[in-house]
Structure formats: structure tokens, C-alpha cells
């Protein structure tokens, strides 16, 4: 959610910090701030609103200093305001702190500090840290931060600077991601490696309970107890170009257009024509181990969870293994039964989703095995799982997920194919699916090129306050994701229902002013779906359809046809026009498309 950027080196810190803040804007935030140390003093500027508001408030001449930290905040303690924005400082203005997470015992610490005469200037839990650190000015900054954190309960990823000792940044992690970037005689700290693109050559990820002292010429890592930790670095993957909109008005539209290439990367090296199967080397399961799997449980949140619903359907269809998806956010609260012959699959674009990470840890604590399906290389979930599938979709900057959802669905198709071929899926069936997967990139490109054909559907939704999405079987997963996209980015109220459930209650909501978007593939369930449409039309409900060429439906107000594909892969294609539809509706309503209100790309708190 919140974003951290830090720099120590020989260059002016401010331009690098501001560039980093723009890179982490996609995470979602409501205020931004920066602190730079120079000649024993801190220059702190922070503003409610977007990074552009902060930029406008900075001195025209910039800020001198080669050490600094910056932050984008997503409010937890205290409403969005200039005062509550990070960085937070101690009473003397010597210590500056930026922090992601929640200090659970902040009220207790705050009361104790107030009794000692400390005057607080914000409502945040983070300000407590600045005063705790400043209480030990005789200690090294590293030791002062360690002492402060030993008094703290909760989750954090943080960076701290001391104006009197600007040669170092101290960073620490317990639940919130922290990445150290290594450059040429300069170092970086960030909550997300995307902030370091184009500057750092390699990165190191802190683990929970670790604290680092970061200097221009290197870094050292300790546990909070003081034990030194050997920390390996790895190459920073990705390109800064992924954070440039190019000729597109919004990152969301750019990322929809990037899906053909993203899917090609997800497929690259994973299609085995010789044996008519897929090969996902990262899952590290031998054929005999795959045969021992009796159940698959998929865990994810939001769009990742809906991709998991489709994944479960694909695994059951192709591998004939019972499979189920459920929200990771609820999984650990019901004391789940962990089975040795169940394969657990955790899904996350960022690889930092707190709820999903907690679910993984619950599974591992009880002896289960977990695979990760993750887009961000080196992320916490990828490292916690230890094995799995990288999507290689490239950076996804818009808060709403598009290309990552599509690539996740493709990854599940590959996993289902590999599991199926170990079991009873024939070579002929495998070859059929390989051909279908290979055709997806060009088919997606064709859908995106026909965006203008969605105009009648867009016009109907723009003048509506509510919309329903329905689908059967795998089409229900597409309906859920389509409804989520529309409400996330356009703020229209949208609900998804299994088409078969419409008559069990939701039919009471059908009215002439509320359109129903139907996921309508030309498959064995077509007749049943047409009957459901008739039920909607009988009650004067407008119907919009995402379907296949040649499907005739009486009374449909507007329709968009996707290319025919292998039936199992049709849901992947049917989701693409729903992404474009949500984008167009949001455009028509003048929404903040890349950063919808109240949402964050990477949810790192409960």
C-alpha cells in the first residue's frame, strides 16, 4: 500500500526520491512527503494528495543534500492530511521516519511518551517511532532504532535518517517489504523494487526481524537481537520503460494492450510439443508427486482470487483433481484443516499481499506444501513459497489488475495441462490445448484492436447506476472479475451472480434501468444461458452479452463477440472485452482510472 524510497550517495537525493515516489504511486496512497538531510538539519516537505501536489510545494531551487527518505501514505491511523503525512520527525527535527504497516501498541507508547512531556504533532502511530528513536541520541542510529523496535508490537517496513549523522539510512522489516538497492557508490532503500529501476544494479530483500544499516559504499544486516545476517543480492529484473505510459492516456489502457506480449512471456519455454504437455520447472514436482495430489486449494484476494476460481475449474476439468479457490483473507481465520495430499497454490501480483502471505504461513506451519503464482520476482510470497510460477507479465502500474489476471489464468491453464497429462489427459487433447494456448496472444491482440465495437455496451453502462454480471461454470469467474473491474475503476455498483442462481433471489432486482452483462460462450451450456437471458428479458431487464460469433440471442441490446478458441480457454478471451468495457465506462464518467479512490495495488496490512 504505502511506498518507501530512500537514497544515500553522492548525487542530489531529492530528484531520485521524487522519481521513486512516482514509480510507487501505483500502490495507492493519499499523501506524500520527503525529508532530506543537509549540514546537520532536516528539510521536510509533505502534502495531502498526489505526488504532484508535493512536487508543486517544493522550493524551486530544490533541496540540497545527498541523503533522504520519501513516502506515499495510505491512511490507517489519522485521516489524510498534511500533518499526518510521512515523514514524521522527533521534537528536535533531527530524526525522520517513514513507515508502512501498523504499530498495534501505539496508543500505549503514545501515552507513555506524552507523560514524559513529548508533544505529538500528528494522529499517526508512526510518529511514536520517531520519538522512541530520538530518546537515545547517544546510541548509533542503528542501535537506537533497534532499541525502539524492541518496544513495538505490529507490522512495519521502515526507513530512518538522522540529520546529525547523514551517512546512513537504517531500514527494518517485520511484515512490510523492504528492498535494498545497490548502485555505484550509492545505495537505495524501497518498499518495492520498481522504485529502483534504472539506478540499482542488484537488490537484497530484508526478511522479517531484520534491520539494515545502508551506507553509500555498502550495507550490513542484523537481526533485532544483534546477530549478523549474510544477505545475498540478486540482479534487479525489469525495465524502467514499464513505468512510462508512452502514447497511452492511462497505464490501465497500456497494460491491456500489453497482454499479447505478456502472455507470450508467460508461455515462453513452457510448451512441450514433444509430449503434448506443459512444463513448469519452478513447481519442482516430479510426476510421481503429481500423482499423489488428491486436492488443490487456491488462495488469493480480489482479482487474484477470481483468477484462482478459473484456475480451479481448469484443474478439475483437465486433471480431474478436486480443486477449490477461496479468499486468502478468510482462510486462516477458520482454523483450516491442512492435508498432506493437498497442493496449496497462493496467487499474488505483487507477491506482498499480507492476507495471502499469512495464509501461506498458516499452511506451512501445519506442514502443508505451497506453490506461488506471482508476478514480482524476488517478492516476499515468492521467497516464502520457495517454488512456483513467475508470470513474467512485466510491471503492472495501474491499481486494477488486467494483464496480470490474464497471465495468471494462462499459468493455471499450464498447470492444469501438466497435471492432466500426468493423469488421464490424452496426448491428442494435450496437443489441442497447446495449439489453443499458442493462439491466445494474437487472439487477444485482435480483441484489443476492436475496442471501438464496445461503444454500445459502454453507452448503456455509463447511464446506469447498477449492473449485474452473470455466467455459468468458468463463465462465473469471468463475471466476477468483470463486475470487480467495473466497480473498482468506474465506481458503479456491480454484482456478479452464477447464472443458475439468478432465480434463487437476485431475479427480484431485475429492472428496466439495470443492465445485465452475460458471459455467453457457445458451449454445452448455451441453451441454459439463453433460458436465463429470457428470464431477464421477461422482466424488462436490458441484456449485454460477451459471446462467440454466430450466437443468436433474442432481445440483446448490445453484444461483443470474441474469437473462438478451445472451450477451456474461452474464459481467458472473454475477460479481455470486460477489461476494455470497464476502462471505457470509467473514461466516460471521468474517473481517476489508474488510481481509483480507496484502493491500493499492494495490500500489505490487514
Active site (catalytic) residues: 2, 601
* 440-to-36, 294, 319, 373, 520 alpha-carbon distances in Å: 49, 30, 21, 20, 19
Residue 532 CA to residue 535 CA, distance in Å, equals 5
Q: How are beta strands 3-8 and 187-190 bridged, if at all?
A: antiparallel
Non-local CB neighbours of 339 within 8 Å, separated by 6+ positions:
294, 295, 368
Matching residue, cell 545527498: 66
Non-local CB neighbours of 504 within 8 Å, separated by 6+ positions:
none
Pick the closest to residue 33 from 92, 103, 89 (CA basis).
89
Residue 579 CA to residue 539 CA, distance in Å, equals 28
Rounded to 10°, the helix 126-134/141-149 angle is: 130
In sequence order, which ranges of 354-491 are alpha helices (DSSP H)?
A: 354-365, 380-385, 403-422, 427-449, 455-462, 474-490
Residue 324 CA to residue 337 CA, distance in Å, equals 14
Judge contact between 1 and 191, C-beta under 8 A.
no
Residue 193 CA to residue 178 CA, distance in Å, equals 9
531's enclosing H/E stretch is helix 526-538
Within 10 Å of residue 18's Cβ, how many Cβ atoms?
20
Amino acid at each position: 500500500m504505502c511506498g518507501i524510497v530512500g537514497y544515500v550517495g553522492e548525487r542530489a537525493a531529492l530528484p531520485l526520491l521524487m522519481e521513486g515516489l512516482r514509480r510507487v504511486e501505483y500502490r495507492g496512497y493519499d499523501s506524500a512527503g520527503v525529508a532530506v538531510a543537509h549540514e546537520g538539519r532536516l528539510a521536510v516537505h509533505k502534502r495531502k494528495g498526489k505526488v504532484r501536489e508535493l512536487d508543486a510545494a517544493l522550493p524551486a531551487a530544490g533541496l540540497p543534500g545527498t541523503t533522504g527518505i520519501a513516502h506515499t501514505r495510505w491512511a490507517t491511523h489519522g485521516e489524510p492530511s498534511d500533518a499526518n503525512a510521512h515523514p514524521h520527525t522527533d521534537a528536535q527535527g533531527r530524526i525522520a521516519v517513514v513507515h508502512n504497516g501498523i504499530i498495534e501498541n501505539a496508543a500505549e507508547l503514545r501515552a507513555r511518551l506524552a507523560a514524559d512531556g513529548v508533544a505529538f504533532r500528528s494522529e499517526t502511530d508512526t510518529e511514536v517511532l520517531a520519538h522512541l528513536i530520538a530518546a537515545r541520541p547517544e546510541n548509533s542510529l542503528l542501535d537506537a532504532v533497534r532499541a525502539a523496535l524492541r518496544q513495538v508490537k505490529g507490522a512495519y517496513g521502515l526507513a530512518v535518517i538522522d540529520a546529525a549523522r547523514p551517512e546512513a539510512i537504517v531500514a527494518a522489516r517485520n511484515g512490510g517489504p523492504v528492498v535494498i538497492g545497490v548502485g555505484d557508490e550509492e545505495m537505495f532503500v524501497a518498499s518495492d523494487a520498481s522504485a529502483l529501476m534504472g539506478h540499482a544494479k542488484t537488490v537484497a530483500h530484508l526478511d522479517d526481524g531484520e534491520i539494515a544499516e545502508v551506507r553509500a559504499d555498502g550495507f550490513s544486516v542484523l537481526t533485532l537481537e544483534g546477530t549478523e545476517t549474510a544477505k545475498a543480492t540478486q540482479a534487479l529484473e525489469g525495465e524502467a520503460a514499464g513505468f512510462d505510459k508512452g502514447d497511452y492516456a492511462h497505464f490501465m489502457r497500456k497494460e491491456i494492450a500489453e497482454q499479447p506480449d505478456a502472455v507470450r512471456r508467460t508461455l515462453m519455454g513452457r510448451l512441450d510439443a514433444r509430449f503434448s504437455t506443459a512444463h513448469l520447472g519452478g513447481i519442482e514436482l516430479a510426476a510421481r508427486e503429481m500423482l499423489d495430489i488428491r486436492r488443490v486449494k487456491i488462495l488469493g484476494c480480489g482479482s487474484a482470487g477470481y483468477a484462482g476460481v478459473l484456475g480451479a475449474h481448469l484443474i478439475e476439468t483437465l486433471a480431474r483433481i478436486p480443486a477449490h479457490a477461496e479468499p486468502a483473507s478468510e482462510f486462516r481465520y477458520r482454523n483450516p484443516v491442512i492435508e498432506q495430499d493437498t497442493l496449496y497454490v497462493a496467487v499474488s501480483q505483487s507477491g506482498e499481499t499480507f492476507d495471502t502471505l499469512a495464509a501461506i504461513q498458516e499452511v506451512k506451519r501445519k506442514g502443508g506444501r505451497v506453490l506461488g503464482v506471482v508476478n514480482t520476482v524476488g517478492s516476499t510470497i515468492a521467497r516464502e513459497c520457495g517454488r512456483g510460477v513467475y508470470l513474467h507479465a512485466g510491471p503492472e502500474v495501474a491499481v486494477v489488475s488486467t494483464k496480470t489476471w490474464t497471465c495468471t489464468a494462462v499459468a493455471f491453464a499450464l498447470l492444469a495441462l501438466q497435471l492432466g497429462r500426468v493423469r488421464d489427459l490424452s496426448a491428442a487433447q494435450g496437443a489441442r490445448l497447446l495449439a489453443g494456448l499458442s493462439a491466445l496472444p494474437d487472439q487477444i491482440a485482435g480483441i484489443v484492436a476492436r475496442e471501438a465495437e464496445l461503444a454500445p455496451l459502454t453507452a448503456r453502462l455509463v447511464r446506469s447506476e447498477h449492473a449485474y454480471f452473470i455466467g455459468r461454470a468458468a463463465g462465473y469467474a469471468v463475471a466476477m472479475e468483470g463486475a470487480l473491474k467495473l466497480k473498482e475503476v468506474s465506481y458503479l455498483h456491480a454484482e456478479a451472480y452464477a447464472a443458475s442462481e439468478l432465480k434463487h433471489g437476485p431475479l427480484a432486482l431485475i429492472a428496466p434501468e439495470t443492465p445485465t452483462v452475460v458471459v455467453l460462450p457457445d458451449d454445452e451450456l448455451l441453451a441454459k444461458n439463453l433460458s436465463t437471458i429470457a428470464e431477464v428479458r421477461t422482466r424488462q431487464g436490458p441484456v449485454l452479452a460477451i459471446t462467440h460469433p454466430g450466437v443468436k440471442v433474442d432481445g440483446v441490446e448490445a453484444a461483443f463477440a470474441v474469437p473462438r478458441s478451445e472451450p477451456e480457454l474461452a474464459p481467458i478471451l472473454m475477460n479481455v472485452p470486460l477489461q476494455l468495457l470497464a476502462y471505457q465506462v470509467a473514461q466516460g464518467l471521468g474517473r481517476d482510472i489508474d488510481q481509483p479512490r480507496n484502493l491500493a495495488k499492494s495490500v500489505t496490512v490487514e
